[in-house]
Amino acid sequence: MISDSLPEDEKFDYIFTSETVYSTHSYPKLHKVFESLLKKSGKVYLAAKSFYFGVGGGVPYFKEFLDRTKVFKYLTVWEHTTGIKRIILEIKFNQ
């Protein structure tokens, strides 16, 4: 279980993750990891396919989830548009 009471100096400046938004069912747990373990000034770099066919997830769906929760803001920092579309998001706390 992730503790909500970690001191700020024990949290991470950066979290790197890849292929973790393929299922919309995992979004609340992933969000909890970010919220609990990222420093207030930290950044998450999330790399993923735009869409995961057959499992229902992808970057646009995760962006919608982040928009609804209003805890984080995001920016697309890299995008590969030929072939399988891939994206890297930079995610930070709304401050």
Residue carrying structure tokens 């962006």: 63
Contact 44, 37 (CB under 8 A): no
Measure CA 93 to chain center: 11
pLDDT tens-place string over residues 30-76:
999 999 999 999 999 999 999 888 778 999 999 999 999 999 999 99
Domains of the chain, earliest start first: 8-93 (3.40.50.150)
Structure token pair of residue 18: 């890849």
Structure token pair of residue 14: 């950066």
* pLDDT at residue 1 tops 70: no
Query: What φ, ψ does residue 16 adopt, rounded to 5°?
Result: -115, 130
Measure CA 7 to chain center: 21
Name the residue with higher pLDDT: 2 or 65. 65
Name the band, by pLDDT with cuts 50, 70 and 90, for residue 5: confident
